[in-house]
Amino acid sequence: MPKRYIPVKERWQHYHEASILAFVGGWVNTVGFIALFGIYTNHVTGYIVTAGKETILGGLGVWALFLGSFILTIGITAWCEQRWKQRYPNILLAFLITETLLLTLFMLAGIFFSPFESLVDTGAIITAMLGISAMGIRNAVIRTLLSSMATSTLMTGNIAQLTIDTVIAYGSTTSSSETKDSARQNILKILPSVLSFAFGALLGALAYIMFSFICIIVPILLMTYLCYRESDFGFSQA
């Protein structure tokens, strides 16, 4: 029988996939920050702030390169999605595989080039750009293909929304029951990702101290599991 594609929103209903992605995001971001002199692999805010500072101090180059790489990766991912999503409904699998491969290269580059003397070392730049590219893909798909899920790369918005929903659900006397129910559903969606990100960041820091870049094998294995799920459960018999 022909297979029917199941949309992500329908099949990822129990939030553990989002929690895995958040755990990976916290782990990779923390390792990058510790190993690569304050690099944030997951988000662009740090690059903009640091680029502003370095513009004044005369050291803009490498931060502008990282910012450009992050934006370029997101742009390429978005372009590929728009071009190929009709022909390949489960294009999410391709992006997850690509992220996993880039994380593998990130780990191998870190093992090969470290220890780094400074962020302007060629090895440090290559390693950082691989990590940034991997998480750049994630930042693109969480805005499109995974937009129904809690964000898994940056917790600022998640924590803000979690706080608002908690106040509405448990501290408001004027909100309707429907509004409170909706807020509770949001809490159930967001809280696992926030906790998973924090847990991943903590374990990532400890693992890097103990094992250096080899510790990236944990996110790689988790992403491999998600790739397997996508390949095995993304379709059903029509």
The more confident residue out of 182 and 99 is 99
**Predicted local confidence at residue 14, as pLDDT:** 58
DSSP conformation letters of 95-115:
HHHHHHHHHHHHHHHHHHHPS
DSSP three-state, residue 50: helix
Using the predicted structure, report yes or no on whether residue 238 has a pLDDT greater than 60: no
Which of 37-41, 151-155, 191-195, 229-233 has the largest mean confidence? 191-195
**Predicted local confidence at residue 54, as pLDDT:** 60
User: What is the C-alpha to C-alpha distance for residues 129 and 70, in angstroms, rounded to an integer?
Assistant: 8
Judge whether 169 and 184 are in contact, CB under 8 Å: yes
**Predicted local confidence at residue 154, as pLDDT:** 83
**If you average pLDDT over every residue of the chain, what do you get?**
87
Which of 96-110, 113-127, 143-157, 169-183 has the largest mean confidence? 96-110
Supply 16's token pair: 């553990």
Domains of the chain (ranges; CATH) run 12-226 (1.20.1250)
**Predicted local confidence at residue 220, as pLDDT:** 99
DSSP conformation letters of 180-207:
HHHHHHHHHHHHHHHHHHHHHHHHHHHH
pTM above 0.85, yes or no: yes
User: What is the C-alpha to C-alpha distance for residues 186 and 12, in angstroms, rounded to an integer?
Assistant: 15
**Each residue of 126-153: pLDDT tens digit?**
999 999 999 999 999 999 988 888 888 8
**Each residue of 181-216: pLDDT tens digit?**
889 998 998 999 999 999 999 999 999 999 999 999
**Predicted local confidence at residue 126, as pLDDT:** 96
Segment 157-174 mean pLDDT: 88
Using the predicted structure, report yes or no on whether residue 46 has a pLDDT greater than 50: yes
Residues above pLDDT 70, as percent of the chain: 85
First to last CA, the chain: 7
**Predicted local confidence at residue 24, as pLDDT:** 98
Segment 48-57 mean pLDDT: 62
Using the predicted structure, report yes or no on whether residue 29 has a pLDDT greater than 90: yes
Using the predicted structure, report yes or no on whether residue 84 has a pLDDT greater than 80: yes
**Predicted local confidence at residue 226, as pLDDT:** 93
Q: Characterize the bridge pairing of strands 3-5 and 235-237.
A: antiparallel
**Predicted local confidence at residue 47, as pLDDT:** 65
Segment 60-89 mean pLDDT: 88
**Tokens 């906790």 -> residue:** 195
For residue 237, what pLDDT band results from cuts at 50, 70 and 90? Answer: very low
